[in-house]
Amino acid sequence: MSADRENHDMTQAESDIALLLADAADEVEIGIAPVQAVLRGGRRRRSRRWAVAAATAVAVLGGSAGVTLAFAGLPGEHRAQEVAKPASPEARHVYEPQVTELSRGVYKGQEWHVSVQVWGAPRTRAEAERQWHAMSALGMAPAVGKPAELVGKISYFAVRAHGGDHPQQLMFNSVSAPEPQVGTDLQSMATRFTPDAASSGQLVIGEVATTAREVTCWWKDGTSTVARVATGHTPGDPVSAIRPAAGSSWADWFVCVSPEGKTFKEVKVTK
């Protein structure tokens, strides 16, 4: 019994010491967790341990380049995130446009095609200068008077080419934010397959709202051609069609091609 009592006294002493240490630790102010105040009640000590662990992690990782520690709302949750890097001019298509072919065919034994080029907005004068020269190399002239005026502006061109002729820009603009086409809105122009006046008015090009499903072009003899939504290019695709163009979020583009010998009268969004 003497041994049992001695063991009991030692156990009781150890228990008392543990309680005293716990109470002393409870009086220490570690600080507030990064996201929320220290939790009350039974979770209080665990919260403080988490706050200390988080602070240690920050101290260890704080010197690492390009890494930020983000803490979630609950204790113990965190994740490392890479700091976002600015998109390069190449990723923004500043020096090389996004090009989408809209239609192609044959006129006088030679192939013609119509495409849309969309150039990203330069952010500096240096980028604008380089873009200006890249456009010139492709035969494009933006709707501004000097390179510096391209800063902050998207540029786009509807381009036609025939055979070995140099591509020609038809519809084009350079704007900070292109105005979206809505409803039955459209902008269009009637042109020709080549600079040869004999084909005048046989090719209609334009932009419409992305919700447009059908465009109808009427010719002077009363007949019409319907352009409907199409994607991609496969054998048998119609030359008259509505297509999305890469980089052109504000509008889709259409082409109407007249039968031989007919000329343009008017065009409308009919669906």
Token duo for residue 133: 């020269």
Q: What is the pLDDT of residue 86?
A: 84
Question: Residue 251: which of 234, 269, 232 has the closest Cα?
Answer: 269
Helix pair 2-26, 44-61: axis angle to 10 deg? 60
Are the CB atoms for 180 and 197 separated by under 8 Å?
no
Of 64-68, 76-80, 137-141, minimum mean pLDDT range: 64-68
Q: What is the pLDDT of residue 228?
A: 95
Q: What is the pLDDT of residue 235?
A: 57
232-249 pLDDT per residue, tens = 666 567 789 999 999 999
* 19 burial type by CB count under 10 A (0-12 exposed, 13-18 middle, 19+ buried): exposed
On the question of pLDDT at 83 being above 80, the answer is: no
> If you average pLDDT over residues 21-46, what whole number do you get?
45
pTM, two decimal places: 0.68
Average pLDDT over the chain reads 78
Alpha-carbon span 46 to 75, nearest angstrom:
8
On the question of pLDDT at 192 being above 50, the answer is: yes
Token duo for residue 227: 């352009």
